[in-house]
Amino acid sequence: MGIAGSARLGRVTDVVEPLRVGVLGARGRMGVEVCRAVDKAEDLDLVAMIDQGDWLFNASDAGAQVVVDFTTPDVVLDNLHWCIDQGINVVVGTSGFTDERIARVRGWLEKKPEVGVVIAPNFGIGAVLMMEFAERAARYFDSVEIIEQHHPKKVDAPSGTALHTARLIEQARKAAGLGEMPDATTEEMPGARGAEVGGVRVHSVRAAGLVAHQEVLFGAAGELLTIRHDSFDRASFMPGVLLAIREVAKRPGLTLGLAALL
Amino acid sequence: MGIAGSARLGRVTDVVEPLRVGVLGARGRMGVEVCRAVDKAEDLDLVAMIDQGDWLFNASDAGAQVVVDFTTPDVVLDNLHWCIDQGINVVVGTSGFTDERIARVRGWLEKKPEVGVVIAPNFGIGAVLMMEFAERAARYFDSVEIIEQHHPKKVDAPSGTALHTARLIEQARKAAGLGEMPDATTEEMPGARGAEVGGVRVHSVRAAGLVAHQEVLFGAAGELLTIRHDSFDRASFMPGVLLAIREVAKRPGLTLGLAALL
Amino acid sequence: MGIAGSARLGRVTDVVEPLRVGVLGARGRMGVEVCRAVDKAEDLDLVAMIDQGDWLFNASDAGAQVVVDFTTPDVVLDNLHWCIDQGINVVVGTSGFTDERIARVRGWLEKKPEVGVVIAPNFGIGAVLMMEFAERAARYFDSVEIIEQHHPKKVDAPSGTALHTARLIEQARKAAGLGEMPDATTEEMPGARGAEVGGVRVHSVRAAGLVAHQEVLFGAAGELLTIRHDSFDRASFMPGVLLAIREVAKRPGLTLGLAALL
Amino acid sequence: MGIAGSARLGRVTDVVEPLRVGVLGARGRMGVEVCRAVDKAEDLDLVAMIDQGDWLFNASDAGAQVVVDFTTPDVVLDNLHWCIDQGINVVVGTSGFTDERIARVRGWLEKKPEVGVVIAPNFGIGAVLMMEFAERAARYFDSVEIIEQHHPKKVDAPSGTALHTARLIEQARKAAGLGEMPDATTEEMPGARGAEVGGVRVHSVRAAGLVAHQEVLFGAAGELLTIRHDSFDRASFMPGVLLAIREVAKRPGLTLGLAALL
């Protein structure tokens, strides 16, 4: 439902008003996608598109019930503080949330316990499921390695998602009392790209034609289990953003990560 | 621990007696593997290897606490009845359990509520996780198809595992209120191998060199999630059998499927 | 090099004039990409962009040495006839070339033996190599199956590339004296998507998130060889189009398929 | 055809005597497989199975026309010398052939120009085709990386096949005038397993459940081409050994590598 259609009713079955959504960072690459996705969703109403130079009050004036923030680390905290003060629920995709920053958000929420905030580093449902499955499978296999594959313009290796997956696997193996993986290698050569993270090997492939892909390979005697995620497009994050928008008002307080909503 | 070592203690940490295990169908292909796996496990004691022509009493005489049955559909029910009567826990990998047969097992267990029985069609932990993950992911993607790949001596297509996976996905999609998958195909040709099961397409590849493989492919705008299981060897079922042996005594009554133990 | 830069020299190493290229169907989806790719190439000069309503004479007036045709089946023959008459080499990506149409092109070329024409159904170098490799490997394996995967808006199944690959494999197997593939299937179900083409099974997967992918799987006792091509973007056809542009003038007469240029 | 059946004719179509084959190292792991494969082949006759402590003269006494050598680097040269002197063709799978050793073989063959010798480091037809295809495709893609995957008992990383493939790709790229692959990585971590060989990245995965696998990934704007080989079993080398046996007598002099026979 577009801005002009804000008076229209939602799905007839439940006859509820559509949820009123504002977008901060509306002209950024992710913001543009979010505006488009909210606009298309019948149960959501895009009531404010705000970017640099616009007033945050536009969001409250338009009656936004949820604000989505895809801005930058230097302004996101002020945005969050303002929204919480106004009693507006917030979905945050902006990066840079350290433990210290999260503690500050928790502090603001103590005074407004009815407000919901969802902060997620990754809104790709497929990627989040991949990590959940990897964590779940980790205790049942002798070996596990991660192969992440990205376009050659990426500056860091391994990817953040691969590092995070490796740490989840490391913890799950430790919790299950698993020891080191079997490994007889004695002759090695230098120059590979990747890392060893908590005993888990990560391989970083960089090639033209690739976008963003990750494979987690589990092995035990006589069998392999592979979990692979391929992401081709920012569009793949929109179902996760919409899910968070629909859920945030039902979950007062702070929710970290999309996994908690699945 | 081998038969001769039955007096040895288990792991020092818990100083418990090893669990005494009997195997029915001990000379069959799976039975041989099970005997070998139990024999190798330090916390298990292989006390009876029974096959056609041997007395079931060998199991009770040897003090078996758990019996594993990999026999045939025509004798498995008698075996189960006898074990339950004797108060011996049972792990069953034999096939052919209809609803009617399961009802009879439940009847016997009512009189011996302290006995545990685990009946599982598939002891491959990897395969069971694949199905669990497929069921879990089903509601989040517009499309899903299954590609199962087997050696060319297999007589049925699609495989039982693929059919079971398709039905789990069908139910999960229905429960989530998902409709039909997007599909614009208007020109088709005959001759493909596979099936459509509850709206889920299954592709059956048969080729020399293959053993037993299955891939479940989930797709949504801009992303794919793939869960793949490769099974090369009966050895891959042994961790699942050992897990069931260790768990069955702790779970009085009937447990269907390995998934409940993971 | 853009239109405005047509007077600039090509690479200094060979100090040759850039090749003058005209594009027919310049406002179509492929045409736009071709114009962009020619414009970027230092050794090529985009001298004419022609679409519906424009005069073909624009190409000859601009001194085009090669014309690229991505138009429609109903106008492509007239375009070709005119270009050949004018002595302009042509690279054709428009579809619909039956044997009868090809015979007519050959007839026109007999009177202008110095003109080169390249007609190719697929300008993806990766796809062409995949087919070449599949044809080459076919005689060495007992089994082969094709799995093609496309977006769900595709109307035909199997894809044209899959059908063409299957026929190449069929011919290669016949030429090598190979018989039928091993196959013990006796129980089958209906509803699979794909086809059997000359004894080669093709599986057609259709799912959101997919673009255009094909896998050819070869199997023999104890081994598999897989050749896979993933195409995400029309950009992937441009290297093949540029190759054809650079080669067509050196190859008088008719060349069918990109493979001949690799 | 078994030893006892040596008098039987070959295929009726050509009505030729079966080729008489001796195997050196007949009780080794590969030798046993070779004996079995030769025994099964209708056009071959297994006339001598020789191992440590047996006389080489058994081969000539039995009228062997081809001898297959899967022995050890310390005896293979003596075996070869003796066979060439006797005028017996040889297929060698034993490793350890340095340039110097090959020069000596060439020297012996000069005096017996009618004898054929095939020395191959790898008799897997699939693996040889993978390398051939990788070399062929190398010049058409901006990027290429190799992912090899093996069981965790392997002592060296990367595998010999991966190193050889990387060098073939390096040479093909150089010959085509390609420069370095695109790469923007600035932040890296240590601990990855693999290597960089002539600018080509190799990733070495080691996990339980794996046997011997290799994937070569080529990438260009908008497309990927992947060539993958999976080897599960020594049986996969037999078609290559049989091919060499059938071809060696037709190719006097030294042939290095199976590729030359395909």
Residue B224's nearest CA partner among A218, C217, C151, D221 is: C151
- Looking at residue B15, its pLDDT comes to 58
**What pLDDT band is residue B16 in, cutting at 50, 70 and 90?**
confident
pLDDT at C4 over 90: no
**Which pTM value belongs to this model?**
0.88
Mean pLDDT of chain C: 92
* Residue B45: pLDDT over 90: yes
Q: Which of A157, A207, A219 sits opposite D188 (nearest CB)?
A: A157
Share of chain D above pLDDT 70, in %: 94
Among candidate residues D8, D1, D6, D65, the one with its CA nearest the CA of residue D39: D1
Q: For the segment B148-205, what is each residue's pLDDT rounded down to a tens digit?
A: 999 999 999 999 999 999 999 999 999 999 999 999 999 999 899 999 999 999 999 9
- pLDDT of the residue at D13: 52
Closest chain B CA to residue C232: B222
pLDDT tens column, D62-98: 999 999 999 999 999 999 999 999 999 999 999 889 9
| Digit-coded pLDDT (tens) for C33-64 | 999 999 999 999 999 999 999 999 999 999 99
Q: If you compute the radius of gyration of chain B from its CA atoms, what whole number of angstroms results?
A: 21
Structure tokens at C171: 């011919």
pLDDT at D162 exceeding the cut of 80? yes
Active-site positions of A?
Answer: 150, 154
What phi and psi, each to the nearest 5 degrees, are found at residue A99? Answer: -60, -40
Q: Is C250 an active-site residue?
A: no
Chain A residues in contact with C230 by the CB 8 A cut-off are 209
Show binding-site residues of B: 25-30, 51, 93-95, 120-123, 151, 160-161
For the residues of D62-94, what is the DSSP string, one character each?
TT-SEEEE---HHHHHHHHHHHHHHT-EEEE--
Q: What is the pLDDT of residues B92-151, one digit of tens each?
A: 999 889 999 999 999 999 999 999 999 998 899 999 999 999 999 999 999 999 999 999
**Residues ≥6 apart with Cβ < 8 Å to B7:** none
Q: Which residues of B touch C224 (CB under 8 A)?
A: 207, 209-210
Sequence-ordered list of residues with C-beta below 8 angstroms from that of A145, at least 6 positions apart, any chain? A200, A201, A202, A203, A216, A217, D205, D206, D207
Contact criterion met (CB below 8 Å) for D197 and D166: yes
Asked if B64 and B48 touch (Cβ cutoff 8 Å), the reply is yes
Catalytic residue (choose from C150, C164, C203, C229): C150
pLDDT tens-digit series, residues C75-88 = 999 999 999 999 99
**Positions at the binding site of A for NAD(+):** 25-30, 51, 93-95, 120-123
Q: Give the nearest chain C residue to D225 (CA atoms).
A: C229
B14 pLDDT band, cuts 50/70/90, is low
* CB nearest to A130's CB, from B129, B220, B225: B225
pLDDT tens by residue, D41-54: 999 999 999 999 99
Query: % helix / strand / coil in chain C, to the nearest 5?
Result: 35, 25, 35
Report residue A14's pLDDT band, with 50, 70 and 90 as the boundaries. low
B52–chain A nearest CA distance, Å: 28
Neighboring chain B residues of D236 at a CB cutoff of 8 Å? 209
Asked if residue D120 belongs to a known ligand binding site, the reply is yes
Confidence of residue C7 (pLDDT cuts 50, 70, 90): very low
pLDDT for C14 equals: 53
Q: What is the distance between the alpha carbons of residues A115 and A103, in angstroms, rounded to a whole number?
A: 16
What pLDDT is attached to residue C68? 98
pLDDT of amino acid D33: 95
Which residue of chain C is at minimal alpha-carbon distance from D218? C126
Nearest Cα of chain A lies from the Cα of B104 at a distance, in angstroms, of 33
User: Kind of pairing, strands A19-24 and A66-69?
Assistant: parallel
- Partners of C209 on chain A (C-beta within 8 Å) are 230, 232, 236
- Model confidence pLDDT, tens digit, residues A194-243: 999 999 999 999 999 999 999 999 999 999 999 999 999 888 999 999 99
- Which tokens in the block code for residue C145? 């199956």
User: By 3-state DSSP, what share of chain A in percent is helix, strand and coil, each rounded to 5?
Assistant: 35, 25, 35
Question: What phi and psi values does residue B43 have, to the nearest 5 degrees?
Answer: -95, 5
Mean per-residue pLDDT, C91-112: 94
In angstroms, the CA D7 to CA A106 distance is 89
- Cβ of A219 within 8 Å of Cβ of D210? The answer is yes
Q: How many CB pairs under 8 A join A and C?
A: 9
Confidence category of residue C226, pLDDT binned at 50, 70, 90: very high
Residues in chain A closer than 8 A to B261 (CB atoms): none
Q: Contact A225/B126, CB-based, under 8 Å? A: yes
Q: Give percent of chain A with pLDDT exceeding 90.
A: 87
Catalytic residue among B150, B164, B203, B229: B150
Tell me the pLDDT band of C15, cut-offs 50, 70 and 90: low
Q: Which of C152, C181, C192 minimises the CB distance to B202?
A: C192
The per-residue pLDDT for A15 is 58
State the average pLDDT for chain A.
Answer: 92
- Here the tokens at position D18 are 């079966």
- pLDDT range class, residue D234, cuts 50, 70, 90: confident
By three-state DSSP, how is residue A143 classified? strand
Lowest mean pLDDT: which of A44-48, A205-209, B216-220, D121-125? D121-125
Q: Give the neighbours of chain A: at least 3 Cβ pairs within 8 Å.
A: B, C, D
Mean pLDDT of D134-148: 98
Q: Which of the following is catalytic: D81, D112, D154, D174?
A: D154
Cβ-Cβ pairs closer than 8 A, B with D, add up to 9
Which of A187, A192, A207 has the CB atom closest to D143's CB atom? A207
Q: How far apart are CA D259 and CA D244, in angstroms?
A: 10
Average pLDDT over residues D147-151: 97
Q: Is the confidence at residue D214, as pLDDT, over 70?
A: yes
Query: Chain C residues contacting A, CB < 8 Å?
Result: 209, 211, 230, 232, 236
pLDDT given at position C95? 86
Q: How many contacts (CB atoms, under 8 Å) link A and B?
A: 110
Exactly one of B81, B111, B112, B154 is catalytic; which is it?
Answer: B154
Task: State the pLDDT at residue B1.
Answer: 40
Q: Which residues of C touch B185 (CB under 8 A)?
A: 154-157, 193, 206
Residue B11 distance to chain A (closest CA, Å): 14
Q: What is the pLDDT of residues C138-185, one digit of tens each?
A: 999 999 999 999 999 999 999 999 999 999 999 999 999 999 999 999
Annotated binding site of A for (S)-2,3,4,5-tetrahydrodipicolinate: 151, 160-161
Average pLDDT of the segment spanning A101-125: 96
Q: What are phi and psi of D258, to 5 degrees?
A: -70, -25
